[in-house]
Amino acid sequence: MTNTVNTSIRIDKSLKKKADITFRSMGLTFSSAINMFIKQVVNSGELPFKPQANLSTEELLEIEQQYKTD
C-alpha cells in the first residue's frame, strides 16, 4: 500500500487544461508537478516564486493608511 492521500482542489477548467499540456510537454503529470511544487515549498520553507499584488502604488498607500488608522 502506498503512503499517499487523495487531495481535491478547485481550479479553473481552462487553466487546468493548459497546465496539463504544459506539464506533459515537460514529461510530467499534473499530479507529479503539484507534488514537486509542494516538496519544494516544504524543503525550502518558501514559495518558488515571489507573490505580488496587482495593485498600483496609490492603492497600496491607501491600504497602508487604512491599517495605520485602525
- Per-residue model confidence as pLDDT tens for the chain (70 residues): 589 999 999 999 999 999 999 999 999 999 999 999 999 999 999 999 888 777 788 887 888 888 777 6
- Residue type at 33? A
Res 1: pLDDT? 59
Q: What is the C-alpha separation between 16 and 21, in angstroms, rounded?
A: 9
Burial annotation 59-69 (CB, 10 A radius, 16+ → b, else e): eeeeeeeeeee
Residue 11, classed as helix, strand or coil, is coil
- Residue corresponding to grid cell 478547485: 10
Res 47: pLDDT? 93
Res 42: pLDDT? 97
